[in-house]
Amino acid sequence: MRTPAAPPSTVMSPVGASNAAPFISIPPRELFAGADPSNRIPPVPRA
């Protein structure tokens, strides 16, 4: 039972962090741009 629970957490750790990084970086920029129209931050193109 402990073996199946270990793999998912290990796989989700790197994948989750990689997917979370771009998603977390985008929302703040959009929120700031919407809150301050004068200080509009252009979206940074992600590879």
Mind listing the pLDDT tens digit for each residue in 10-39? 444 555 555 555 555 555 555 555 555 555
pLDDT at position 8 is 47
User: Global pTM?
Assistant: 0.14
* Pairs from 8-12 (Cβ < 8 Å, separation ≥ 24): none
Cα radius of gyration rounded to whole Å, the chain: 17
Give yes or no for residue 42 having a pLDDT over 60: yes
pLDDT at position 4 is 47
pLDDT at position 28 is 58
pLDDT at position 19 is 54
pLDDT at position 9 is 47
Residues 22/30, Cβ–Cβ less than 8 Å: no
Residues 41/29, Cβ–Cβ less than 8 Å: yes
